[in-house]
Structure 1
Amino acid sequence: MTRLCIATTSVPGDLPGKLDRIAAAGFESVEIHEPDLTGFAGTAKDIGTCAKSLGLCVDVLQPFHDFEGLADDARKAAFARLDRKLELMKELGATTLLVGTTTHKDSAPDNELLCQDLSELADRAGKADCRVALLALPWARHTKTELDAFALVEAVDSPHLGLGLNSFFSLADGSQAARLRDIPGDRVFHVQLSDAPALDFDISHLKSHFGLLPGQGGLNLASFVRVVSRAGYDGPWSLARVSASAADSRETYARDGYRALVSLLDEVAHTEPAVALPLPDLPERVHATGIEFVEFAVDQSAKTELTTTLSAMAFRKERSHKSKSVELWRQGAVNIVINSEEKGFAAEARHNHGACVCEMGLRVKDATQTVRRALMLGAPEFSQPVGSGELNIPAIKGVGGSVVHFIDEKSDLHRVWDIEFDPVPRAHAPQPAGLRRIDHVAQTMPYQEMQSWLTYYLSTFVMEKADIIDVIDPSGLIQSQAISSPEGEVRLNLNGAGERQTFAGAFLEKGFGAGVQHIAFSSDDIFETSAQLEAAGFARLKVPANYYDDLGVRFDLRAELLNAMRAGNILYDRDDRAEYFQIYSTAFWGGFFFEIVERRGGYGGYGARNAPIRLSAQIQHLKESSKQ
């Protein structure tokens, strides 16, 4: 049975509170980070009792550093510290002491002395009915790699001394997991899984500045798990943050960690018999095939602003709900739901956040299985009273409290517009502006929530992530993480904002938290669409003239094309032969806006180099609007 473990390091709260969060998230065991224990007012025995009452096994006490290779009084002091650690182990009921290879400046580079100290360490641990996992630290004085540490373990040859592994230390310098395949699994006593950006230099210079949850970085953790498992390792898989930043501790860390760890082990277990399924009945990750609808929560004033903008983009009010103040506006395959009800979830969202996107619907193969996977990974279920003639559409609450519905064709869910809504008679049908579908949805959130959203999406859906991009706002930095389904049917941009002065930060402050800040629609011909928008009175963002002067030089564009873009305030980007065109609406509701895009030649990005231009123009527009 796979045992899921997590260190108390980055879980917020006092130590009993950390254990509560860890148990509630679904973990079976825990690494006690000794500084958490030091700051606790009770005894180690109290913590051991607390963990047991919560169903948690205390697998590891850590860290224990700077032990081996010392002389005289320093050596005596190191063994005195060891004896105290072993006493704590007994009081905690812990089974393994994690020992990092020494960084002490006075440690002698003498293998015989190192082995002598580690042998005595193993003997004392055995007498205390526990064992030691030796973890090679890349910045250690002598023993910097797992293979070096394993050589010491073999030389000592004690059943009480084994190897500790951390995927970050093993992989972040570009090494492959295959180099570990000759280490017998029964000599590996503990494994920590930690992701990081893929690096190409000596990670000892970084020390503890990285350490992401599985899936958040670029390391091949699946390969690492396969190699260690095939060797025979059958101990716990642990999450141990090695990031030194206190800001990485967040309320959702235990829940995010559980999702990330289960998702990784589940993925590997389906192709590797040596790895047990962490949750045997967990449905596979979901392939979302499109965004079925986006729903806005509005009052009457906000509704007027929204419908005016939609009308100027040639959307039409097509249906009204049979019993509620809910309207369906449509163009192409884009469904926009406008909810002005005074009761229910949309009304609550409007009360808490102002006018906003409150719900989103994704098309999936099996809605019930989608919800089941999300719930098993700790997502909160969503339900509300269903009226007569209404469908109970499966849904969950996403990160930040938004709701995600799932539409499939296994039942009547895909006929929701025909079942719950009546057609609206119209005397005049506006000519469409060529908007085909939703190209992408951009969600803005505080920096510290960005990794939570990423883990939520990657663990639930079949999605791929691009590299994080730093976007320069005139008032600060915004981090942008793009994720998408393999064929691009669903594209999401996660934007992390810090400073309130940034355009994204102002949106967060206005909306009291994370949310959808803009929606991009896809056009097959941006210039034809632009002409239609102009005729309909669409209020578009004005792009500075200097931008087009620079654009012509940078890409050597034809004068005719450049002039057409200048006339339509159309932004442009090119990647090899692939091209990208963008039009933005002016912002309303304190920072929400629409975008129209055209992709040519398989362009896969989002015009990142244009973001500073767009942000400057948006901030200038808001300043001018506030003076009116």
Structure 2
Amino acid sequence: MSLAISTTSIPGDLEEKLSVIAEAGFAAVELHEPDFTGFHGSAEDVAQMAQGFGLSINLLKPFNDLEGWEAAERTRAFDRLERKFDLMGALGTEMLLIGASSRKMSIEQTATDLADAADRAKARGMRLAYLALPWAGLVQTDAQALDLIQKIDSPNLGLALNSYFSLADGGKPAQLRDMPGARVFHVQLSDAPRTPGTIRSLKRHFGMLPGLGSLNLAGFVKVLSRAGYKGAWSVARVNEHSPSPGGRTLAQDGYRALVNLLDEVSRSDPDLHFDIPDLPPRVYSSGIEFIEFAADATSGKELTDMLSAMCFRMERKHVSKSVELWRQGAINIVVNTEEEGFAHSAFIGHGPSVCDMGLRVKDADQTVARATALGTPQFSQPVGAGELDIPAIRGVGGNVVHFIDEKSDLHRVWDIEFEPVAKTEATQPAGLRRVDHVAQTMRYEEMQSWLLYYTSTFEMAKSVIVDVADPAGVVHSQAIESPEGEVRLNLNGAEGHRTFAASFLADRFGAGVQHIAFLSDDIFETSAQLAAQGFARLEISPNYYDDLQAQFGLDDDLVARLRAGNILFDQQGNTAYYQIYSQPIFQGFFFEIVQRSRSYTGYGARNASARLAAQMKHQRPAGIPRT
């Protein structure tokens, strides 16, 4: 039961495709014939090359429009089939994917042609995997294809299934419950969002990696496995309209998505077993333990001035390094101005920025074990005397994610590696209790990779992607969060070059954390305390508040308080959300303070345009023309 991927999913020439597919961990490939016809070498060369990479070619595809021809045209169609058998023999594969013909014909003629093809395949020691297509002339559903295959009753003719075609029109995995597993020769896995429309119109746009859409692929795999399917599980062709982060990344994403899916199925049904690594379960994170910034003396002073204005206080210093711990409530902000080590390298590469984040987990070592088994690089650096070796992996944009558990001394890191500083004066807190969410900005083509990274490693659910209107373009925002909301992340995919998010990427040479939101229980009390400390907040257009009052029918006093504090507001039913933003620092990084009233679950998406406009205005002082 091998793991496979279609060569059409990976960009590059055939040798590059096979190389990155093998490197990602796959054992087999579906060979797309145009990849062969564009290759400067023989079929035997391709077979030898695949073998050299440790790959088997488990299927050649596609063969279309076999059925429905008459006289000389039928002869030519079957001559084509025989030549494909010749090619398959040279490639070392014994299975051919046949797509249902687009021609209009009778069921009798279709059965006759497929029976003839099956006989020819038997004579050549080949097998035919027949795929129903929603746009075919006759055989458009799995049920129709299976009915034909059972009537013909040949061991050399079986069914090919693609989860997209089976489920995207609203079909349920249960409809395949009576599918005889021995009749299924090949299974392709492809996801899709919940979007109205016909499969035919959506296929070009919504062939997605497993886990990125909303189809019940776990149920699909479970039903087929229980029915006795023993063949390969293959990642189907990724559509040409998906963002493409590069061949190596796509292959790694495909492997991660497939292994994560099969792991999910085996955990829900221990009787089902797949040829995948033995993984610890997905990780439940109970919160963000710390966020670390890489800075130099100048930018570190700019950051700590803003932290002071938000009523954080420096509580501890590292025993041997230029590293400070700033605290308020359950929030730990680490400011690292060391001139060597990982943080310094991050500063050289990205400027002042978030370089590390610590998550609280039940078992730090198991967390790293799952992440690395799915292809995430482990992180390590030399540990000094008296320092803890905290398990870690690489995260978004090359940043690091450390894991803190209570099974060891890891949760005592602040007591072990840091020493208290003398308090010169009392700092009145501003009511900031914990990190509400962290927003990571990346190029749009990277967004799906990082979504898979989080959802395959951690117990996190994704929301629907929201398109946010920036004054200079569109930013795609995907929120993910742990079951109880202890860890919330916003993944923001920037397109183009002129949006506020894109300018952040350009200034720091890659993806990273663009803003951090802190949670308050009383936004107006927090706002007053921030004002007393001289907090530099983002100024919101007065027009926003006129529209806000009309939108929600708010009373004059509340609108006046919001306007006076440059506080944004959103409402969902009887829940409410309040937001205050800092002015940007570090070429686009900013802080946010939020209040969630009556368990508001969103992120104030309707306010994003007003916030972005204000930030763009701040980035472009008065008198400076647009470029």
TM-score norm. by structure 2 comes to 0.97
**Using the alignment, how far apart are the partners of 1:95 and 1:448 within structure 2?**
36
Does residue 502 (structure 1) correspond to residue 499 (structure 2)? The answer is yes
From 192, 198, 218, the equivalent of 1:196 is 192
> Conserved in 2, the CA contact under 8 Å of 1:517 and 1:591?
yes
> Conserved in 2, the CA contact under 8 Å of 1:390 and 1:419?
yes
**Using the alignment, how far apart are the partners of 2:565 and 2:317 within structure 1?**
34
Stretches of structure 1 lacking an aligned partner (at least 5 in a row): none
**Using the alignment, how far apart are the partners of 1:174 and 1:511 within structure 2?**
43
**Using the alignment, how far apart are the partners of 1:558 and 1:594 within structure 2?**
28
Q: Which residue of 2 aligns with 1:48?
A: 47
Q: Which residue of 2 aligns with 1:176?
A: 172
Secondary structure at the counterpart of residue 432 of structure 1: coil
Q: How far did 1:84 drift?
A: 2.1
Q: How far did 1:625 drift?
A: 7.6
Does residue 610 (structure 1) correspond to residue 601 (structure 2)? The answer is no
Cα deviation 1:93-129 (Å, max 9, x = unaligned): 11211111112xxx24211111111112112222222
Does residue 564 (structure 1) correspond to residue 540 (structure 2)? The answer is no
**Using the alignment, how far apart are the partners of 1:85 and 1:626 within structure 2?**
68
Cα deviation 1:235-281 (Å, max 9, x = unaligned): 11100124133743623011111111111111111222452144353
Q: How far did 1:149 drift?
A: 1.0
Secondary structure at the counterpart of residue 314 of structure 1: coil
Cα deviation 1:264-313 (Å, max 9, x = unaligned): 11111122245214435310000011000111111122112111111100
339-348 or 591-600, larger mean C-alpha shift: 339-348
Does residue 147 (structure 1) correspond to residue 136 (structure 2)? The answer is no
Secondary structure at the counterpart of residue 441 of structure 1: strand
Secondary structure at the counterpart of residue 374 of structure 1: helix
Q: Which residue of 1 aligns with 2:366?
A: 369
1:553–1:246 distance in 2 versus 1, CA, 3 Å: closer
**Using the alignment, how far apart are the partners of 1:254 and 1:188 within structure 2?**
25
**Using the alignment, how far apart are the partners of 1:417 and 1:277 within structure 2?**
42
**Using the alignment, how far apart are the partners of 2:342 and 2:516 within structure 1?**
21
Cα deviation 1:130-183 (Å, max 9, x = unaligned): 201111111112111111111111122111000000111111111111111111
Q: Which residue of 2 aligns with 1:212?
A: 208
**Using the alignment, how far apart are the partners of 2:277 and 2:254 within structure 1?**
19
Q: Which residue of 1 aligns with 2:159?
A: 163
Secondary structure at the counterpart of residue 289 of structure 1: strand
Q: Which residue of 1 aligns with 2:524?
A: 527
**Using the alignment, how far apart are the partners of 1:246 and 1:469 within structure 2?**
16
Q: Which amino acid aligns with 2:25?
A: G
Does residue 540 (structure 1) correspond to residue 561 (structure 2)? The answer is no
Does residue 70 (structure 1) correspond to residue 75 (structure 2)? The answer is no
> Conserved in 2, the CA contact under 8 Å of 1:139 and 1:207?
no
> Conserved in 2, the CA contact under 8 Å of 1:319 and 1:423?
yes
> Conserved in 2, the CA contact under 8 Å of 1:11 and 1:249?
no
Q: CA RMSD for the aligned pairs?
A: 1.4
Q: Which residue of 1 aligns with 2:85?
A: 86
Stretches of structure 2 lacking an aligned partner (at least 5 in a row): none
94-103 or 271-280, larger mean C-alpha shift: 271-280
> Conserved in 2, the CA contact under 8 Å of 1:139 and 1:205?
no
Q: Which amino acid aligns with 2:208?
A: L
**Using the alignment, how far apart are the partners of 2:435 and 2:320 within structure 1?**
27
> Conserved in 1, the CA contact under 8 Å of 2:253 and 2:449?
yes
Secondary structure at the counterpart of residue 306 of structure 1: helix
> Conserved in 2, the CA contact under 8 Å of 1:283 and 1:372?
yes
Q: How far did 1:23 drift?
A: 1.2
37-46 or 545-554, larger mean C-alpha shift: 37-46
Cα deviation 1:453-489 (Å, max 9, x = unaligned): 0000010000000001111111111110000000000
Does residue 250 (structure 1) correspond to residue 249 (structure 2)? The answer is no
Q: How far did 1:205 drift?
A: 2.1
Secondary structure at the counterpart of residue 61 of structure 1: strand
TM-score norm. by structure 1 comes to 0.97
Does residue 555 (structure 1) correspond to residue 552 (structure 2)? The answer is yes
**Using the alignment, how far apart are the partners of 1:23 and 1:55 within structure 2?**
7
Secondary structure at the counterpart of residue 613 of structure 2: helix
Q: Which amino acid aligns with 1:59?
A: N
Secondary structure at the counterpart of residue 9 of structure 1: helix
Q: How far did 1:562 drift?
A: 0.9
**Using the alignment, how far apart are the partners of 2:332 and 2:240 within structure 1?**
45
Cα deviation 1:592-612 (Å, max 9, x = unaligned): 000000001111100001001
**Using the alignment, how far apart are the partners of 1:29 and 1:232 within structure 2?**
20
**Using the alignment, how far apart are the partners of 1:626 and 1:261 within structure 2?**
53
> Conserved in 2, the CA contact under 8 Å of 1:15 and 1:36?
yes
From 288, 293, 304, the equivalent of 1:291 is 288
1:393–1:516 distance in 2 versus 1, CA, 3 Å: same
**Using the alignment, how far apart are the partners of 1:5 and 1:289 within structure 2?**
35
From 168, 183, 197, the equivalent of 1:187 is 183
Q: Which residue of 2 aligns with 1:136?
A: 132
Secondary structure at the counterpart of residue 26 of structure 2: coil
1:222–1:625 distance in 2 versus 1, CA, 3 Å: farther
Q: Which residue of 2 aligns with 1:30?
A: 29
243-252 or 483-492, larger mean C-alpha shift: 243-252
Q: Which amino acid aligns with 1:142?
A: L
Cα deviation 1:197-233 (Å, max 9, x = unaligned): 0234321222322111111101111111111111110
**Using the alignment, how far apart are the partners of 2:199 and 2:276 within structure 1?**
34
**Using the alignment, how far apart are the partners of 1:201 and 1:136 within structure 2?**
19
289-298 or 6-15, larger mean C-alpha shift: 6-15
Q: Which amino acid aligns with 1:297?
A: A
**Using the alignment, how far apart are the partners of 1:382 and 1:430 within structure 2?**
36
**Using the alignment, how far apart are the partners of 1:36 and 1:481 within structure 2?**
34
Q: Which amino acid aligns with 2:254?
A: G
Q: Which amino acid aligns with 1:168?
A: Y
Q: Which residue of 2 aligns with 1:241?
A: 237
> Conserved in 1, the CA contact under 8 Å of 2:537 and 2:583?
yes
Secondary structure at the counterpart of residue 528 of structure 1: helix
Q: How far did 1:350 drift?
A: 1.0
1:569–1:465 distance in 2 versus 1, CA, 3 Å: same
Q: Which residue of 1 aligns with 2:303?
A: 306
Q: How far did 1:626 drift?
A: 9.2
Secondary structure at the counterpart of residue 492 of structure 1: strand
**Using the alignment, how far apart are the partners of 2:129 and 2:405 within structure 1?**
49
From 414, 425, 429, the equivalent of 1:428 is 425
From 106, 110, 129, the equivalent of 1:114 is 110
Structure 1 runs of 4+ aligned residues shifted over 6 Å read none
> Conserved in 1, the CA contact under 8 Å of 2:209 and 2:238?
no
275-284 or 62-71, larger mean C-alpha shift: 275-284
Does residue 463 (structure 1) correspond to residue 460 (structure 2)? The answer is yes
> Conserved in 2, the CA contact under 8 Å of 1:10 and 1:249?
no
> Conserved in 1, the CA contact under 8 Å of 2:243 and 2:446?
no
From 223, 244, 259, the equivalent of 1:262 is 259
318-327 or 199-208, larger mean C-alpha shift: 199-208
Does residue 125 (structure 1) correspond to residue 121 (structure 2)? The answer is yes
Q: Which amino acid aligns with 2:28?
A: S
Q: Which amino acid aligns with 1:37?
A: F
Does residue 450 (structure 1) correspond to residue 444 (structure 2)? The answer is no
% identity of equivalent residues: 60
Q: Which amino acid aligns with 2:290?
A: F
From 379, 387, 390, the equivalent of 2:387 is 390
Cα deviation 1:422-441 (Å, max 9, x = unaligned): 11112102100000000000
Q: How far did 1:331 drift?
A: 0.6
Cα deviation 1:17-58 (Å, max 9, x = unaligned): 211111111111111111111111112211111212222121
1:468–1:526 distance in 2 versus 1, CA, 3 Å: same
224-233 or 591-600, larger mean C-alpha shift: 224-233
Q: Which residue of 2 aligns with 1:316?
A: 313
Q: How far did 1:549 drift?
A: 0.6
Q: Which residue of 1 aligns with 2:598?
A: 601
> Conserved in 2, the CA contact under 8 Å of 1:441 and 1:516?
yes
